[in-house]
Amino acid sequence: MTGAPGTTYREAVRAAIREAMQRDDRVFLMGEDVGRYGGCYAVSKGLLDEFGPERIRDTPLSESGFVGAGIGAALGGMRPIVEVMTVNFSMLCLDQILNSAATIRHMSGGQFSVPLVIRMATGAGRQLAAQHSHSLENIYAHIPGIRVVAPATIADARGMLWTALQDPDPVVIFEHVMLYNAAGELDGEAGAVDIDRAAVRRPGRDVSLITYGGSLGKTLAAADELAGLGIEAEVIDLRTLRPLDDATIMASVRRTRRAVIVDEGWRTGSLAAEIGSRIVEQCFWSLDAPIERVCSAEVPIPYPRHLEEAALPQPAAIVAAARAATGR
Q: Is 201 helix (H, G, I), strand (E, B) or coil?
A: strand
- In this predicted structure, what is the pLDDT of residue 186? 81
Tell me the CA distances in angstroms from 103 to 94, 96, 111, 117, one per residue in order.
13, 10, 12, 15
pLDDT tens-digit map of 209-252: 999 999 999 999 999 999 999 999 999 999 999 999 999 999 99
* Structural domain includes residue 50: yes
Q: Which residue segment(s) compose the domain that 263 sits in?
A: 199-326
pLDDT tens-digit map of 20-45: 999 999 999 999 999 999 999 999 99
DSSP letter for each residue of 7-23: EEHHHHHHHHHHHHHHH
* Structural domain includes residue 85: yes
At which of 133, 160, 186 does a domain end? Answer: 186
Q: What are phi and psi of 24, to 5 degrees?
A: -140, 115
Q: Which residues are catalytic?
A: 63, 132
Instruction: Check whether residue 297 and residue 171 sit in a common domain.
Output: no
Q: What are phi and psi of 75, to 5 degrees?
A: -65, -30
Instruction: Check whether residue 60 and residue 92 sit in a common domain.
Output: yes
Q: What is the CATH number of the domain that holds 130?
A: 3.40.50.970
Instruction: Check whether residue 180 and residue 234 sit in a common domain.
Output: no
Instruction: Check whether residue 296 and residue 218 sit in a common domain.
Output: yes
* Structural domain includes residue 193: no
- % of the chain at pLDDT higher than 70: 97
Instruction: Check whether residue 213 and residue 174 sit in a common domain.
Output: no
At which of 186, 215, 250 does a domain end? Answer: 186
Report angle CA 300, 90, 63 to the nearest 5 degrees. 135
* Structural domain includes residue 12: yes
pTM beyond 0.75, yes or no: yes
State how many domains the chain has.
2
Q: What is the CATH number of the domain that holds 210?
A: 3.40.50.920
* Structural domain includes residue 316: yes
CA pair distance 189, 191, nearest whole angstrom: 6
Instruction: Check whether residue 244 and residue 272 sit in a common domain.
Output: yes
